[in-house]
Amino acid sequence: MTVAFLYPGQGTQRPGMLHDLPGHPAVAATLAEAEDILPGSSRQDDARALASTVTTQIALCVAGVAATRALAAEGAAPDAVAGHSAGAFPAAVTAGVLTFAEALAAVRHRAELMRDAYPSGYGMAAVLGLGVPRARALIESITMDDDPAYLAVIDADQQVVAAGSVRALSRLEAAAEQAGARRVHRLPIAVPSHCPLLAGVADAMADHLGTVPRRPLTVPYLGGRTGRALQDADAVLDDLARGVAATLRWRDVVALLGELGTTLFVQAPPGSVVARLAGAANPGARAITLADTRLTDAVELARHAGRSRLPAGDDGHLSRRRGHQPSSGG
Catalytic residues: 85, 194
Euclidean distance between CA atoms 61 and 86, whole angstroms: 8
CA distance linking residue 115 with residue 191, whole number of Å: 7
3-state secondary structure of 159: strand
Q: From start to end of the chain, where are the E strands?
A: 2-7, 80-83, 122-128, 149-156, 159-165, 183-186, 221-222, 229-230, 262-267, 286-289
Four-CA torsion 126, 157, 63, 198, nearest 10 degrees: -60
- What single-letter DSSP state applies at residue 246? S
Query: How much of the chain is in helix, strand and coil states, percent to nearest 5?
Result: 45, 15, 40
- What is the dihedral angle through the alpha carbons of 172, 178, 179, 182, rounded to the nearest 10 degrees? 90
Is 251 strand, coil or helix? helix
Q: DSSP string spanning 9-60?
A: -TT---TTTTTTS---HHHHHHHHHHHHHSTTTTT--STTGGGSHHHHHHHH
Dist CA 186 CA 163 (whole Å): 10
**Which phi and psi (to 5°) does residue 181 adopt?**
-60, 145
3-state SS, residue 88: helix
The CA distance from 112 to 218, in Å, is 29
What DSSP character marks residue 196? G
